[in-house]
Amino acid sequence: MTVEVMVGNKAAATGAKLSRVQVAVAFPVTPQTTIVEYLNEFITKGEMDCEFINVEGELSAQVVVQAASRIGARTFCCTSGPGCLYMHHPMHDTSSLRLPVVMAVVHRGNKGMQPDHTDLMSHIMTGWIQWYVENNQEVLDSIIMAYRVAEDMRVRIPIAVGYDGYILSYTAEPVDVPEQEEVDDFLPPYKPTPSLMPEDFDPKAPLWWRVPWEEHHKVIVDAKEVIKEVNEEFGKRFGRSYGNGLVEEYRCEDAEAVIVAMGTIASTARDAIDNLKAEGKPIGLVKLKCLVPFPYEDFQRIGSEVRAIGMIDRNVCLGVGGVGHTFIRNAIYDLEERPKVLGFHAGLAGKEVKVSDIERMAEKVLKAARGESVSPLVEWV
Amino acid sequence: MEKLTIKDIPLEEYTITPGSACQGCGPALAARLVFKALGDKVIRHGVPSCPDSVTRTPHTFSVFESAGAALTGISRALKVLGRDDVLAVGFIGDGGTYDIGFQALSAAAERNEDILWFCKNNEAYMNTGIQRSSATPLYAWTTTTQVGPRGRGKETPRKNLPFIVAAHHVPYVATASIAFPTDLIGKVLHAKRLRGFRFIDILCPCPTGWRFDPSRTIEVARLAVQTGMWALYEIIDGREFRLTYKPKKLKPVEEYLRIQGRFRHLTDGEIEEIQRMVDENWERLLKLDEEGEFPL
């Protein structure tokens, strides 16, 4: 293992390289662009044995990886904001055909260049597993883990690994880079099932067609167990893991309230929680990494342990509300004793979220936990 | 192209009959001829279109606009897996080629992807019920170019797609017809031996959409060529041009137009206008053929 100081986009490209990706495709879009350049550099230098295709747009990028994955190549693509939205149509089929494509999404909102999670969240109904990660180390590790989960025969569902544009994409952090042999041991070669090669093909076999809705939904729900398993095994082999793979609880022991955050806001929230803990305040942090499939069971357990939950959404489902807020309320509804669930919209269109902002949100959540009256309205920070 | 006689056409069948095609379906015959010539080392790719090309070979599908990208993915995956012996073959309608699939087609051609693209061209969106495409000829009736006091069918001539593809300087571009099977298969066999982007546009009459009796598909297809409405040629490396069917004299377009319901409304003046267009185009093609050079 070697430590290298690298930007988030290099961490993503390095994750793809270590995963021995065979077909990589991308169309440049800020702030994803340098992933494409790093991949091209790795391939040109001969460090990576991979077909790299400069396509004419993101829709084609998605279709190229979909088709190549079906033939039997391990595939990678990456995008941001508008490019991510342009991919929408074929993304449905990548999941419906149960192809283990992995894609890095460098978050960029649709009202400017700056990050929020509305790009990837616009794809909630496409049937992709969605992870939102916090730092460059987690970018690299999650891409390797994503192939292991996606290619598991119990799953065979594509995975998007999202990280905040600029905040991570162009910011350098030290990253432990695993040795190639260690990754090879963790991640066996990909085999398509069934094979489409002429000698294996049986014209009488059922068509490889879109999986029906109910089965499709259940496969994605059941992927939670595989994600947990893979996260745990990654921890044993590499000495790092990320909560249970779905959520990560930070200093939640004896907490009466928790803040829930995604992506880089979770990093900032760790400092806020440390400050509040130092003052003896009973609050913890839950990092929500896996939005799809949604970890209902984890939030039911957390919801039965605390009196208030505050969700910080770096997104808005217009006319509906925060995605995380809505999902968490859904998760806790069946509990006998429900905690209060407060919602906050923060960091949209890249608006800065400071430690003090999170402390203030946390104070409001603590107030609700003490049973004091707080406005039930979702707050725009 | 390879020179063949009818006896050289392979006996093996790779399409499964009966398919779910209409009676007299032109594209179904195109599929039968094309896949005979290609053999069994094929992955056939399709996008939404009429279900007229069911083959015994492995097959894939993808969204309507994406044939060029999907064929790229298939071909590159075959390459990285060391399977250069398997052909990535697109069998795509004129909608998926001329219109919604045009961007991905152009991009794949520019990258000179190692793929074979067959356009089963029936000059409209037949799968959704006869709506015009940019392959629909001038004045043809379709359900979206209707005929009445304010409409005379399609207002513009079709896009010259084979020339546009040839302008990408790809190894092989050809036009073909189901009524000229030795010409068609000769072109397919030639294309099969090349590498890079190869494109064959096959005119396939559709009795349902063109409004003629299903027993006359071959006759209509033959007249399209004999009248010059659909010329047969090949363009090599975007440079060499050659007509592969050169009658001494073209038949009048009226013979082709009058037997199809989609042209039933045409006035003598409109037929004359189409005749002038065809004559001019034929003169130009003869000149290209004589010089042997593609002008772009």
pLDDT at residue A202, as a whole number:
85
Confidence of residue A216 (pLDDT cuts 50, 70, 90): very high
Give the mean pLDDT of chain B: 96
SS3 for chain B is CCCCCHHHCCCCCCECCCCCCCCCCHHHHHHHHHHHHHCCCEEEEECCCCCCCCECCCEEECCHHHHHHHHHHHHHHHHHCCCCCCEEEEEEEHHHHHHCCHHHHHHHHHCCCCCEEEEEECCCECCCCCECCCCCCCCCCECCECEECCEECCCCCCCCHHHHHHCCCCCEEEEEECCCHHHHHHHHHHHHHCCCCEEEEEECCCHHHHCCCHHHHHHHHHHHHHCCCCCCEEEECCCEEEECCCCCCCCCHHHHHCCCHHHCCCCHHHHHHHHHHHHHHHHHHHHHHHHCECCC
pLDDT at residue B52, as a whole number:
82
Query: Which residues of A, range 67-96, sit inside 8 Å of B by Cβ?
Result: 67-73, 75, 89-90, 93
pLDDT at residue B17, as a whole number:
67
- Note whether B76 contacts A51, CB cutoff 8 Å: yes
Partner residue facing A23 (CB), from B62, B76, B103: B76
Superfamily name and number for B14-291: Thiamin diphosphate (ThDP)-binding fold, Pyr/PP domains (3.40.50.970)
Give the mean pLDDT of chain A: 96
pLDDT at residue B19, as a whole number:
67
Confidence of residue A207 (pLDDT cuts 50, 70, 90): confident
Residue A1 scores a pLDDT above 80:
no
pLDDT at residue A194, as a whole number:
85
Q: Name which of A226-240, B8-22, B238-252 the model is least confident about.
A: B8-22
Confidence of residue B18 (pLDDT cuts 50, 70, 90): low
Choose from A48, A93, A196 for mutation: most chain B CBs within 10 A: A196
Instruction: Give the pLDDT mean for B288-292.
Output: 96
Residue carrying the six token digits 């995975």: A159
Domains of chain A: 2-238 (3.40.50.970), 247-380 (3.40.50.920)
- Note whether B81 contacts A61, CB cutoff 8 Å: no
**Higher per-residue confidence, A215 vs B1:** A215
A201 → chain B, closest CA residue: B58
B83 at A interface, C-beta within 8 A? yes
At residue A12, the 3 state secondary structure works out as helix
For residue range A264-293, what is the model confidence (pLDDT) as tens digits? Answer: 999 999 999 999 999 999 999 999 999 999
Mutual angle of helices A136-151 and A8-18, in 10-degree steps: 30
Choose from A64, A69, A77 for mutation: most chain B CBs within 10 A: A64
Say if residues A4 and A177 touch (Cβ distance below 8 Å): yes
A204 → chain B, closest CA residue: B56
For residue range A317-357, what is the model confidence (pLDDT) as tens digits? Answer: 999 999 999 999 999 999 999 999 999 999 999 999 999 99
CB atoms within 10 A of CB A239: 10
Instruction: Give the pLDDT mean for A64-90.
Output: 97
Give domain limits for chain B: 14-291
**Alpha helices, H only, chain A:** 8-18, 33-44, 58-71, 81-86, 88-96, 118-121, 136-151, 180-186, 213-238, 264-278, 296-305, 323-332, 355-369
pLDDT at residue A205, as a whole number:
79
Residue B188 scores a pLDDT above 90:
yes
Residue numbers in B near A93 (CB within 8 A)? 62-63
For residue range A99-110, what is the model confidence (pLDDT) as tens digits? Answer: 999 999 999 999
Instruction: Give the pLDDT mean for A87-92.
Output: 98
pLDDT at residue A204, as a whole number:
79
For residue range A285-323, what is the model confidence (pLDDT) as tens digits? Answer: 999 999 999 999 999 999 999 999 999 999 999 999 999
Residue B51 scores a pLDDT above 90:
no
Instruction: Give the pLDDT mean for A151-177.
Output: 98
Confidence of residue B289 (pLDDT cuts 50, 70, 90): very high
- Note whether A67 contacts B72, CB cutoff 8 Å: yes
| Alpha-carbon distance B211 to nearest alpha carbon in chain A (angstroms) | 33
Residue A129 scores a pLDDT above 70:
yes
pLDDT at residue A70, as a whole number:
96
Confidence of residue A203 (pLDDT cuts 50, 70, 90): confident
Query: What are phi and psi for residue A375, nearest 5 degrees?
Result: -65, 130
Residue B40 scores a pLDDT above 90:
yes
Confidence of residue A62 (pLDDT cuts 50, 70, 90): very high
Choose from B45, B57, B65, B66 for mutation: most chain A CBs within 10 A: B66
- Note whether B62 contacts A90, CB cutoff 8 Å: yes
Residue numbers in B near A56 (CB within 8 A)? 103-104, 106-107, 110
Residue A195 scores a pLDDT above 60:
yes
Residue B224 scores a pLDDT above 90:
yes
